Structure formats: structure tokens, C-alpha cells
Chain A
Amino acid sequence: MSTQKPALRLEGILKTFPGVRALDNVSFSVIPGEVHALMGENGAGKSTLMKVLGGLYQPDDGQIIIDEQPVVMTSPLQAKSKGIVFIHQELSLAEELTVAENIYLGELPHKSFGRVDWKKLHAQTDSILQRLKVGFNAKTRVGELSIANQQMVEIARALTVEAKAVIFDEPTASLTDAEKVVLFDVITDLKSHGVGIIYISHRMEEIFKITDRISVLRDGQYRGTLNTAETTDDEITQLMIGRKLDLSRNASHHEVGDVALEVRELSCGALFKNIDFEVRRGEVVGFYGLVGAGRTEIAETLFGLREPTAGQIYLDGAEVTIHSPADAIAKGISLVPEDRKGQGLVLGMNCRDNMTLPQVEGLKFGPFVAETDEVAIFDKYKERLDIRTPGWKQTVGNLSGGNQQKIVIAKWLSMHPSILIVDEPTRGIDVGSKSEIHNLIRELASQGYAVIVISSEMPEVLHVSDRIIAMYSGEIMRTFTSDEVTEDNLIQAISGITSNRAA
């Protein structure tokens, strides 16, 4: 394979920003018909490299070579005309327009006097959609499609040009397992048509399932390329973080205390029904299931963001009703939300103010905020959670995902809650910080917190949880202790295959 001429080659790319060398002499190539993974921790330079390739940044040095011809990329449009197509993690579609209009946006086929040639447009679109084997047609309004199908529209857009290389940036972030299978089929199909694919992802299982080669970046430098068939996740991780990572099953068994939270017959419309479970102090309970299984909705109900339609919630044995997040916080429940940037942090504010946001009311000195107390809290948790930031004045939006998540967790820890709910604790976080957050969750449990972890990543749930609750379509299918659980029976439970429920 390596004897083939690359479809796309980046050579000696150098890009610096004031004070930072974001890309340091990076070389990388994709051969037609291969899936080439690009891996690295957040901040390793993947996004910058892709922006150079897409013409958004101009490299300070180095070359982009397509079909043996050096090219100066000046804009995403030019990249597309050269056959370089990006499928971004965040979709950019006009929801009110049809699939066909979106796919040919800016390039609608037209007749005389600028009239759109609808017949041609729909025919062309349908032929592309057939190739992707999707269940919608050219005239469907994009807003009516699921996220997975919207992504298919983006991919269809890529197929309108003679693509030489397609770049997928974290394409599975919001897809269910079934949808992933469809996506992988499409990638395999592209591959068989001789398209070179760059696949950016943090998810090891996917990397091993779909890629041929893996290139790793660390701190803006190229660290090597591995053949997927001949490597292991340990080897990749080591290249990425420069040390060995322990992702083995959690074996620590510490004292488990009284029941802190008990939920009985909790229901919320069609979102979830008859939910029964309890969480003890010192215990991590993992919720695992597909997207849409109702896990996040249960967390939101416990945090007062949704009103349950039936059922009871008991805290330390006493029945409670929770009307609002303020109410939940006062009762010792805290939530680290799934969407860190959208719901967890005020991105324009500094680290300290974000950390003390829920308790600033209690830190008053007369009518004023007691800023010295705030700084003391910040310093304490910065050290305790090893938050890497130059100081409390740093705007949270400038921190890495891992450090942002630590700020959110610190925000709640400093309030001394009794129950900590963490929804997707490591979404979009690099491998190194991931294990730190996992360790932190374990440590919190050992200190007596009752912790609920919701995750879509099986290794994560297996790693951190003492018990795992498997959900399918709004119902609890089974509760596993860490001795019983295997990857197989867990997958069966969340796919709705098993019917032997246990509360």
C-alpha cells in the first residue's frame, strides 16, 4: 500500500501563533483507498493541521501536495475544488431547506435567467442518496432529519465533487451504535472508490474497526505512523501522551455507606418510566445505554430541570420534591451536565468566577462579593484537582476540555454536595485528562460521595462504576454488579435483547 502515490501529502508544515508553536514540521500523507486516523490529545495540533489543509490558516512553512502538485490553499472553497472535503463535527446545514438544496447550496444547477433546474437538482441528489442507501429523499426538509441523517447530508455534499480526500472530524460524537454502522459502511464504500480518508477520533474501538493506518501528533509534533493491524491501544496511547495509561477495570473495593438517594417508580411522560434504583454513599453507579435511552432525562429530573409525572425521590430516606436546580443544589444534588460549554460553563467568565458561581450568594460581605474567599476556594481546588491554568483570571473558554471539566467538577465539590451526577464526564476530552477524571470520580466515591456517572462509552462505565444500570428506551433493563458485568451482556441489555430485569 505504501508504494502507492499519496492522494494528499502535507510536508514539513510549520505554524506558529504568538508564544506557541502549534505545528512543528508536521508531515502526513493519505493514500487513495485508505482510512488514515489522525490522533492526538486535545491541543496536539490536529485541528490546526486541518485548518491549514482547509485554507483557513496559512502555514509559516511547508507544503500541501495534491497529486504531486504543490498547492497553496487559500479558502475552504478552493480546498473543495481540489477534491479535499471536510465533514465537520458540528453540522452546518440550513434546516429550513430541503436535502437537495443543502447538498447543492451555492451550486444549484440552473437554466436561463437564473431559474433553478429543479428536475436536474432532484435527480442528481437522489442518485447520490441512493449510493448512501439512506431512507430519505431529495425533497425532505433537513430540519426533519435525525442528527445521523443530517450527517449523511453532509457526506452527500462531499460526494458532489470528485473527492480525493475526505476528512471526518469526530463523526460519531452524536451517533448511536446503529447509526455508526451505517456511517462505517459509507466510509468503506468511499474507500473502495479510491478516496483517501482522514479520520479524526478519540475513540479507540472505532480506530481499530475502521482505519488502516494511524498517525499521532503530540504537542504540535509528528510522533509516528502505525499500521492499525499491528498495533495495540497501549502503543497508540503511549505515543499520544508519552506515558503508559492504566485503563484496566477498577478493582478498588472500599466501604460503601448508607443509601443517599433512592428513586422509586419515577416516570416522566414518554421519556422514561418506572425507574427504580438507589445510590449509596461511597458508590459509583453507572448508567449505560444508547443515546435517547432516557439517562440524561433522569439526571435532569433529579436536578429539578424536569417535573416527573409519577414516582418518588428519597434523599437519606426522606421523600423530597425538587422544583428547580436551585432547589436541587440546596438539597445537596449537583449535576455536571453533558454539554459542558452550553450548560456547564460561562465561557466568557474567568476560572474563579465560574467555580464559585453557585455559591457566590453565600460568599457575601455586606452587599459585596467576598473576592478573597473566592480566590481561596479557587486555589484550594486548583491544587486538589490539578487544574492547569495560569491563574484564576484566565477566561474559562481558553482552557482545554479536560481543565474545563475539572472547573465544573470543582464548582460542585466546593459546595460539598452529597450526590454528584456526572453526565458524559469525558466527552471531547483528551486521553490523558480522561484518566485523571476517572481517577477523580473513583476518589470522590472513596471519600463518601454518592456518584452517578452517565456515559455512552463502555470502557468508561466499566472502569469507574461499582454497579451499572443498563437502560433501553426509557426503562431499566438490568442492574449489574461489577462482578457480573461483561461487555457482551451489557451490550445485549442496552440493545433491548435481554428481558430478565432486575431492580
Chain B
Amino acid sequence: MEPGTLSTFLKRGAIWGFIVFELIFFSLAGEFLSFSDKAFMDLDNMLLLFKQSAPIGIIAVGMTIIMINGNIDLSVGATYALSAIVLLDSMTWPMFAGMGNAVIPIAWGLALLTGVVLGALNGLIVWKTGVDAFIVTLGAMLGYRGLVFMYNGEQPTSHLNWTLVDFAEAQFLGLHTATWFLVAVTAAVWFLMNKTVHGRNAYAIGDNRAAATNAGIRVGPHMLINFMIIGFLASLSAVAFYSESGSVNPNDGELYELWVITAVVLGGTKLTGGAGSVLSTLGGVLAIQLLRKGLGHIGADTETVNLAIGIILIAVLLLDRQLNIKGKEELRV
């Protein structure tokens, strides 16, 4: 075996192995502890789990490319909430009155545009000022959330369109609309990162910015594009979720950025950039959702779930570190 192969394999497959472990554990534990007599790995239960993974998952896919690129985006939760407001409120605007269901694509378009514009704003500031993305998007997180509250005060913004609800609740080949969104987004971004020039350059910039610049790669535009993509995905996530729920509270999406980053890191993407994969991120999202659902299944409350996720996150990073050290020692001959 080539040096490092085993640890690389373990690292790549770790998140999926963890998911299998969760499934087995909760199925067995459920037999003894669960109050419900439904099996944990019930098909409907799993389909629901995919659907519930979608809002965080869609954003996490975007966060993966931002982090591969060597940046971070803390404003996704606020972007998500603001896009949701635009989505629901625009359907009630007088200028679209009398359009019937034709307002739906317009509302979607406006919501998605909101995300792209906010993302572009982040990207431009990072590019043109050179201020660290952490600081820029921390400011944006507060600022965009401020806009959310300015819109409707503490009041929720609501509008229920039954055609939209039907669409969002529909199932195609068993999977819900939101799940299909997640699948499509993961596939598209996987292609973007693995097969296109933009993806290749994004990895290079995240790994060694100076070398990328010296190879003639223009760093700024690539970062701008990635921020626009994550803005788009944050609002797409809002579109998928609020088409169904029809009501957005000004606090919605708070802490999403942290859940998203947790999923991405669980999936093995490096905080320092240059390495990571959207497929593993998908694994990270599913692992968290499984954990929540599973702990609920065996009767644990929300506080316990958060504690468990926190511990597991740190344990996983510790394991990753150990494997990295091992891999390095094997190679350093």
C-alpha cells in the first residue's frame, strides 16, 4: 500500500462510516428506548429526514466552496431570512396584483436575486478592500439582520399561496421538492468544483494564494463568484423552505451560519482552505440531522442534542488531526 493511503481512505470515508454507525445505533437503541413502535429506519422517516436536511444542506454546499476558496461567510442566516421576506411579501405587492399564480416565478426570482446581490456585496468588499472575509461577513450578518427587522419590526411576514404549498409538498420518485433541490445543488456544485476551471482555480487560491496569483489567476473575481453562489444558495434554501411554511419570523435563520459551518467541518473541509468536498459536506449535513432525529427518537430533548453534536464535532476534529499527523509522518521520509 502507498504511504498515507489508509489514512486518506479513513478520512474520506469517515463521515459515511459515522452515518452508518448512527443508523445502526439508533435502530438498536430505538428498540429498547423509543416510546414509538415505529422503526427508526422507516422509509417515510428517512424521506422526511432528507427533506429536513435540505435548508441547511443547500447552504452548506455553498459554504463548502467558500471555505475551499479560503474564505468564510457568516451572513448566510440573515440572507436566508431576508430572501424569505422578499419571497413572501412580493407576492402581495400591488404591482403584481391580478397576476394569479404567475406571481410565483416572479417572487422566486426576486428572492434569488436578493441572495445574489447580498452575496455580491460581500464578495466585492472582500475583493476590493482586502478585509478578511470573517470580518466583512460578520458585519454583513448584523447589517442584513438589521434590514430584516427594519422590514416588519418584530412581526412575522406571512403569505400562504396554496399552489406553492402543493408544489413544495409534492413528491417525485418519493423525494420531496426540497430534497430534489438539495440533490440538484450538490450535483451542480460538485461539477463546478471538480470539472470546471473556476473550481480548479478556487482550490488553488485556497491552498496557496501567492502561487495562484503568480500563475496569473485573478483571485478577486473567483472569490466574488463564490460569494454570489453562496448568496444564491442561501436564498434558494429560503425559497425551498418558505414556499411551504408561508410565514417568516425576523429571527428565522439565526445561528444557521454556525450549523452550516459545523456540517462543512464535519464533512472534512479545511478551515484554512484548499481542501474539501461537497459530497462529504452532504454527509456532514445528514449526520447532524440523523443525530437530532435519532436522539429525539430515543427520547432525548433538544438541549441534549446540542450537547451531543458539540461533543461529536470536537471528537471528529480530534480524530481528523490524529489521522493527519499519522499521514504526515508516513510521508516524511
Contacts and interface: CB of A to CB of B under 8 A. Distances in A.
Nearest to B5: A18
Interface stretch (B163-171, B199-207, B243-251): B199-207
6 contacts: A47-B332, A324-B218, A329-B215, A348-B274, A349-B204, A363-B197
Given A19-B2, A19-B3, A360 B207 contact: no
A43 B332 CA distance: 9
Contact of A335 (B195, B197, B201, B214): B214
A50 to B, nearest CB: 12
B333 A358 contact: no
B330 interface: yes
Given A20-B333, A347-B207, A348-B207, A369 B214 contact: no
Interface in A78-111: none
Contact of A357 (B210, B217, B274, B329): B217
Contacts of B217: 326, 357-358
Interface of B: 1-3, 191, 195-197, 200-201, 203-204, 207-208, 210-218, 274-275, 329-333
A328 B197 CA distance: 20
Given A346-B212, A348-B274, A364-B197, 17 more contacts: A17-B333, A19-B2, A47-B332, A326-B218, A330-B216, A335-B214, A346-B204, A346-B274, A347-B208, A348-B203, A348-B275, A353-B204, A357-B211, A357-B217, A367-B196, A368-B191, A369-B197
Contacts of B275: 348
Nearest to B204: A346
Contact of B200 (A325, A348, A360): A360
Contacts of B210: 342-343
Nearest to B328: A397
Given A18-B1, A326-B218, A357-B212, A398 B331 contact: yes
A185 interface: no
A47 B329 CA distance: 13
B215 A48 contact: no
Interface string A404-417: 00000001000000
Contacts of A345: 208, 211
B333 A326 contact: no
A88 B200 CA distance: 35
Given A346-B208, A348-B274, A353 B215 contact: no
B333 to A, nearest CB: 5
Interface in A1-48: 17-20, 22, 43, 47-48
B3 A18 contact: yes
Interface residues of A, number: 38
Contacts of A411: 215
Nearest to B8: A395
B195 A357 contact: no
A364 B200 CA distance: 12
Interface string A281-314: 0000000000000000000000101000000000
B153 to A, nearest CB: 44
A358 B204 CA distance: 11
B214 A337 contact: yes
A386 interface: no
A43 B203 CA distance: 29
A361 B211 contact: no
A55 interface: no
B223 to A, nearest CB: 15
Given A43-B333, A358-B215, A369 B196 contact: yes
Contact of B215 (A305, A325, A342, A363): A325
Interface in A326-346: 326, 328-330, 335, 337, 342-346
A43 B197 CA distance: 35
Contacts of B211: 342-346, 357
A425 to B, nearest CB: 16
A367 to B, nearest CB: 5
Contacts of A361: 197
B195 A369 contact: yes
A367 B214 CA distance: 23
A349 B217 CA distance: 15
B321 to A, nearest CB: 17
A411 B331 CA distance: 25
With most chain A CB atoms within 10 A of its CB, the pick from B2, B200, B330 is B200
A49 to B, nearest CB: 12
Contacts of B1: 18-19
Contacts of A329: 215-216
Contacts of A48: 332-333
A19 to B, nearest CB: 6
Contact of A358 (B195, B216, B332): B216
Contact of A353 (B191, B200, B214, B333): B200
Contacts of B207: 346-349
B210 to A, nearest CB: 5
